[in-house]
Amino acid sequence: MADALSKVPDVEIDPEGKFKYILVNIKVKGGTDNKVIVRGTKSAEYHNHIFEKVNPAMETLGLECSCLGGGKIEHISNDKKLHVFGESTGYGKADHAVTVEKIKSVYKDYEVTME
């Protein structure tokens, strides 16, 4: 089951714009293997809308989710810049330092900053 974790991308965010994001811990049901993922999209009016899409998708892989908090991301693809800031009213503030490290591992040639 641990390979189910490796199949889940660490970061899935919109290619451009300012949008909400959540930091999610996923783990194998009944196990201890886990990892943290970043999900963000402009289509979400509220942070919980992102979780409502992520959770069922992870459950079909046999994984459990818990939201670790949220915030916002500004993605300026022309300048190769990502800025992490803000917080979620419902989930609280995500650990932006964790988010930035996850993003840097995927967007290697980007300048990634946080507030």
Binding site: what residues are annotated?
20
**Which residues, 6+ apart, have CB-to-CB distance to 52 below 8 Å?**
none
Q: Are strands 63-76 and 111-114 parallel, antiparallel or unpaired?
A: unpaired
Residue 69: which region, alpha, beta or left (left: phi > 0; alpha: psi -120 to 50)? left
Binding residues for substrate: 20
Indicate which residue of 47, 75, 83, 96 is catalytic: 47
Catalytic residue flag (residue 83): no
Nearest CA-CA partner of 10 in 34, 45, 46: 34
Q: Quick one: tokens of 104?
A: 């840097």
> Which residues have a catalytic role annotated?
47
